[in-house]
Amino acid sequence: MSLPIAPKPALRRFHQARWDEPIVFELHAPGERGVVPSRVEAGVQEAVGDVVTALPASLRRPVAPALPEIGQMRVLKHYLRLSQENLGADLNVDVGQGTCTMKYAPKVNEAIIRTPDLTDLHPLQDTETAQGVLEIVWRTERMLAEISGMSRVSLQTSGGSEAIWANISMIRAYHASRGEGEQRDEVITTIFSHPSNAAAAKMAGYKVITIFPDADGYPDVEALRAAISPRTAAIMVTNPEDTGIYNPRIREWVDLAHSVGALASYDQANANGILGITRARDAGFDVCHFNLHKTFGTPHGCGGPGSGANAVSEALVPFLPGPVVEKVGDRYVLDGDRPQSIGSVAPFYGVIPNIVRTYAWIRALGAPGLRAVAETAVLNNNYLMKRILEIPGASAPYATGRRRIEQVRYSWQELFEETGISSEEIGIRAADFGMHYWTSHHPYVVPQPFTLEPTESYSMAELDEYAAVLAEVAREARETPDVVRTAPHNQTVHHTHHDDLDDPERWAVTWRAYQRKYFGAGAGAAAAAGVAAVEASVSEGAAA
Amino acid sequence: MSVGLVVNPLAGIGGPAGLAGSDGAAVQREALRRGGRPRASSRAVEALRVLAAAHPGAEVLTAAGAMGEDAVREAGLVPRVVYSALASAAASTSTSPDDTARAASALHGAGATLVLFAGGDGTARDVARGLPSGVPVLGIPAGVKMYSGCFAVGPAAAGALAASWTDGTLPTVEAEVLDLDEERLRAGRPDPRLFALVPVPSAPGRTQARKAATPASEREAVHRAATGAAARMLPGVRYLLGPGGTTAELGRVLGLDTTPLGVDVVEDGRLVARDVTADQALAAVDGRPAQAVVTVIGGQGFVLGRGNQQLSPRVVAALGPHPLLVVATEQKLIDLAGRPLLVDTGDPALDARLAGHLTVVTGPATASIYPVSAATAAPIEGDPECV
């Protein structure tokens, strides 16, 4: 007897939805409305008067915005269809986004941040009326201080690179306060630290010295010895590095920096493998940062606003970005009067919804739960590494044969030399199986790189599925390379034209620019018609 | 975009036979006697099959018989023969370096916009010799020595690059053609020279030592490194600008008419002397504050002793306690895959003194601290088939 439901194949026959959905502006249908408000009753109108002219001129638009006019149901369909043309973290086994894997962001926390208690808040309202959220910020700061071993935390930054920028800005201010600002003009980093460290240091005016791994694949302490001098302002390192290798001599690195009066800055954006196991301050670091969206279960990048946390030792507390939340008696206040502060690096007090999500995430897990997160993330990673290294043509260069912490930067170099199929091509083909895949930051230090990071969120079955996809694509690279070379086959978009991205003349990041650059100056007629219709409806409303 | 192919039928024959190369009729006879088998033609077929998959039935300009025609046919493509070796195609064991150069020239003359060649450094040198400067070339690695940067990482990668070239979509980057004197190599004293800088089609990861994000970003990286070196040049110091693509860019940054393949003397933004010998260099720096500006030459990581022999041990010793200003893109260091930079001045004591860590200038505000070893102390790694 045949089964009523066919058994599913081992590898998914994924196919992305194709809706050929127009751009939302192209859906513009003059006169259509999402909401048609009721006419104001005569008595109300009389009592209130002319609302529009009562508004200050600075708040009034002389011309209505040229927004598309569309019915509610059509708008809903539009965005649902777009979401189906996406390969989001809630759909795929997202471990291929190594260093930036989306761990599961618990949905219960979405319910919390959507309560009117939070959504109705305004950053400029009297803090006396926002005591609850300030208490959450204050408490989250203390929990992150405990997790890092540091003295104080600022949650103001809205992303990892911004947090790194705050780190180097505090370091610069610290040296300047001691009269050593001119003397210390160099920052040392490693080639496998996140490149934002080198970038932020350069932005801050420092010369950047990069250290390559030693013969065993570990950060080269002898090179550091050769590099440090009284000109060194700081070492800025990620640990574990992007290879997933933990620097076993990290204490020596910090001590070397301190021996010449430099500070030690720790990029802990991704602390998935070390939560509750090591602490930055215990290793002697002066400053570190976390990305709430990599470690603490909040949305991330294009999936939502990022959020950073800067944690510092006592000596750097005066330089923290601000304002900071202080507890005075049983009240929470904002302290913006901190003369040595590097000032605001982001608007207001940080990305409040993410701080609330982080607070909820940490409180739900507790200290033993945080440690379990790290242990599971490391176990998942080393299990996946074993499965990946079983695939002929895949390797894990540097510190070969050693365990890794929370991620691994692998290489397809052997497969590439054998077949001519590159890591990028493998990644494009992996999408045909419904899997996201990423190579590496530039420069590609590991040849033909790919970076996998399972975090604690993914099950053994999902890790097996991901490894099976890569094994299949590697087999295809050998046996049917054209299938890989001409991929993707199951996606809505084939190859994108990168040339357009390199040419400012062809960038069109707004509807108006798209009209102007691709259809000429006179082609804004449709949009202009929209403006006229909206204007007409606004004046009708005003007259009503 | 027409592709031309020239195969050096004898390339690689001396490698497995342990002869450190295949140059010269006597070595080739000895290689055959020891059981050496030419592999260039089969490597070319491997590459052309990838081209054929993308462009079935495409015409390839080539030389007669074993110098390309056979490989084109075997890969299922259509040869258009534009050159015949004098000794006739049948006598495949008697082609000469001049045949390679003449074939390359004929391919260019017949309209090839890219000259593919199968061979090693010697073949690369002969191809470059036969072409006017600026004609793109790409090596299918098949030789014994491959110090040059103009080779694809493997035959399949070469074929994929040729296919993209045919589509008309690939930019080029500059690569070095290096060759060393095999007799001296057999005597334990490698002495490669930089013969030419040639354009090579580039796609990320498909050419040796070419893994930058885009060729444009790589050219920009060379420029940034050169600008960084220029910013570190001090007044009143005499600089010996060594050969290489990055030091040539430094010459352009300084606005000087320097020699890309030679050593030039520069002081206070002026060109004091061009293309000097070791003795002239020594006379130019003796008793003055001076430094040699050198770059990483070839894929092995040499900063001294390969392609810049004008910087002799006596010259380097005369430069004082900090003899080198090393300038290179970060990518050059990445391409070493963890191996140290190497010095081989010919004076072991000097090499030992230079060993340790070097500052490598990579941009106006960037540098790397990188280990450097005496070449004799470090085994030279590479394609185990080749070195």
C-beta atoms of A443 and B331 within 8 A: yes
How far is the C-alpha of A374 from the C-alpha of A395, rounded, in Å? 24
Q: Which residues contact B338 (CB under 8 A, 6 or more apart)?
A: A212, A213, A215, A217, A397, A398
Residue B306 covered by a domain = yes
Clarify whether residues A413 and A291 are in a common domain: no
Are residues B89 and B79 in contact, defined by beta-carbon separation less than 8 angstroms? no
Whether A411 contacts chain B with CB within 8 A: no
Nearest residue of A to residue B205 by CA position? A448
Residue B208 covered by a domain = no
Of the listed ranges A230-239, A449-458, B75-84, B91-100, the least confidently predicted one is B91-100
Residue A96 covered by a domain = no
Residue A102 covered by a domain = no
Are residues A344 and A181 in contact, defined by beta-carbon separation less than 8 angstroms? no
Clarify whether residues B166 and B116 are in a common domain: yes
Q: Taking Cα atoms as reference points, which of A358, A463, A342 lies closest to residue A408?
A: A463
The pLDDT mean for chain B works out to 82
Clarify whether residues B176 and B281 are in a common domain: no
Model confidence band, residue B196 (pLDDT cutoffs 50, 70, 90): confident
Residue A104 covered by a domain = no
Task: Give SS3 for B368.
Answer: strand
Work out how many domains chain B is built from and give that number. Answer: 2
pLDDT of residue B271: 96
Best mutation target among A445, A476, A498 (most B Cβ atoms within 10 Å) is A445
Q: Per-residue pLDDT tens for A255-303?
A: 999 999 999 999 999 999 999 999 999 999 999 999 999 999 998 755 5
C-beta atoms of A208 and B367 within 8 A: yes
Stretch B101-114: mean pLDDT = 95
Q: Per-residue pLDDT tens for A175-189?
A: 999 999 999 999 999
Residue B368 pairs in a beta bridge with A210, B360
Domain boundary (A303, A330, A364) is at A364
Residue A108 covered by a domain = no
User: Residue B135: is its pLDDT beyond 90?
Assistant: yes
Of the listed ranges B79-93, B236-250, B264-278, the least confidently predicted one is B79-93
User: Residue A114: is its pLDDT beyond 50?
Assistant: yes
Of the listed ranges A105-114, A442-451, B377-386, the least confidently predicted one is B377-386
Residue B320 covered by a domain = yes
Clarify whether residues A338 and A429 are in a common domain: no
Are residues B342 and B381 in contact, defined by beta-carbon separation less than 8 angstroms? no
Whether A20 contacts chain B with CB within 8 A: no
Cis (ω within 30 of 0) for the bond into B79?
Answer: no
Domain boundary (B137, B166, B201) is at B201
Q: Taking Cα atoms as reference points, which of B294, B369, B296 lies closest to residue A186?
A: B369
Clarify whether residues A15 and A160 are in a common domain: no
Clarify whether residues A467 and A511 are in a common domain: no
Model confidence band, residue A499 (pLDDT cutoffs 50, 70, 90): low
Whether B366 contacts chain A with CB within 8 A: yes
Whether B159 contacts chain A with CB within 8 A: yes
Clarify whether residues A314 and A223 are in a common domain: yes
Residue B148 covered by a domain = yes
Stretch B195-210: mean pLDDT = 66
Q: Residues 343 to 362 of B: which have CB under 8 A from any A CB?
A: 356-357, 359, 362
pLDDT of residue A420: 85
Clarify whether residues A58 and A175 are in a common domain: no
Model confidence band, residue B22 (pLDDT cutoffs 50, 70, 90): low
Residue B92 covered by a domain = yes
Number of Cβ pairs < 8 A linking chain A and chain B: 97
pLDDT of residue B171: 80
User: What is the nearest CA distance from A382 to chain B, expressed in angstroms?
Assistant: 24
Clarify whether residues B34 and B83 are in a common domain: yes
Clarify whether residues A191 and A304 are in a common domain: yes
Chain B hits for A206, Cβ within 8 Å: 365
User: Residue B332: is its pLDDT beyond 90?
Assistant: no
pLDDT of residue A544: 36
Q: Which residues contact B139 (CB under 8 A, 6 or more apart)?
A: B116, B117, B118, B119, B123, B124, B146, B148, B150, B151, B152, B158
pLDDT of residue B379: 39
Whether A192 contacts chain B with CB within 8 A: no
Clarify whether residues B272 and B173 are in a common domain: no
Of residues B134 and B32, more confidence is placed in: B134
| Structural domain boundaries, residue A145 | 116-364
- pTM reported for the whole predicted model: 0.79
Best mutation target among B322, B368, B381, B386 (most A Cβ atoms within 10 Å) is B368
Clarify whether residues B191 and B226 are in a common domain: no
Whether B168 contacts chain A with CB within 8 A: no
pLDDT of residue A530: 46
Clarify whether residues A60 and A81 are in a common domain: yes
Work out how many domains chain A is built from and give that number. Answer: 3
pLDDT of residue B387: 22
Strands (DSSP E) found in B142-225: 172-179, 193-201
User: Residue A225: is its pLDDT beyond 90?
Assistant: yes
Residue A512 covered by a domain = yes
pLDDT of residue A438: 92
Clarify whether residues B22 and B169 are in a common domain: yes
Stretch A442-469: mean pLDDT = 93
pLDDT of residue B242: 92
| Structural domain boundaries, residue B306 | 215-377
Whether A220 contacts chain B with CB within 8 A: yes
User: Residue B208: is its pLDDT beyond 50?
Assistant: no
Residue B387 covered by a domain = no
ipTM value = 0.80
The pLDDT mean for chain A works out to 91
Clarify whether residues A306 and A160 are in a common domain: yes
Model confidence band, residue B378 (pLDDT cutoffs 50, 70, 90): very low
C-beta atoms of A420 and B356 within 8 A: no
Clarify whether residues A17 and A56 are in a common domain: yes
Quick one: what percent of chain B has pLDDT higher than 70? Answer: 81
Domain boundary (B146, B178, B201) is at B201
Q: Taking Cα atoms as reference points, which of A118, A110, A98 lies closest to residue A192?
A: A98
User: Residue A401: is its pLDDT beyond 90?
Assistant: no
Clarify whether residues B87 and B235 are in a common domain: no
CATH number of domain containing A384? 3.90.1150.10
User: What is the nearest CA distance from A208 to chain B, expressed in angstroms?
Assistant: 5
Q: Per-residue pLDDT tens for A348-368?
A: 889 999 999 999 999 999 999
Model confidence band, residue B155 (pLDDT cutoffs 50, 70, 90): confident
Chain A hits for B160, Cβ within 8 Å: 420, 485
Clarify whether residues B38 and B168 are in a common domain: yes
C-beta atoms of B213 and A206 within 8 A: no
Residue B338 covered by a domain = yes
Quick one: what percent of chain A has pLDDT higher than 70? Answer: 94
Nearest residue of B to residue A416 by CA position? B157
Stretch A374-390: mean pLDDT = 97
Residue A90 covered by a domain = no
Q: Provide the 10 A C-beta neighbour count for residue A259.
A: 11
User: Residue A50: is its pLDDT beyond 80?
Assistant: yes
C-beta atoms of B366 and A419 within 8 A: no
Q: What angle do CA A510, A512, A514 make, to 5 degrees?
A: 70
Residue A492 covered by a domain = no
Chain B hits for A478, Cβ within 8 Å: none
User: What is the nearest CA distance from A486 to chain B, expressed in angstroms?
Assistant: 10
Whether B101 contacts chain A with CB within 8 A: no
Q: Which residues contact A477 (CB under 8 A, 6 or more apart)?
A: A393, A415, A419, A421, A425, A426, A484
Clarify whether residues B76 and B146 are in a common domain: yes
pLDDT of residue A163: 96
Clarify whether residues A302 and A422 are in a common domain: no
pLDDT of residue A542: 39
Range among A51-65, A148-162, A519-533, B208-222 rated most confident: A148-162
Clarify whether residues A516 and A479 are in a common domain: no
Residue A534 covered by a domain = yes
pLDDT of residue A400: 87
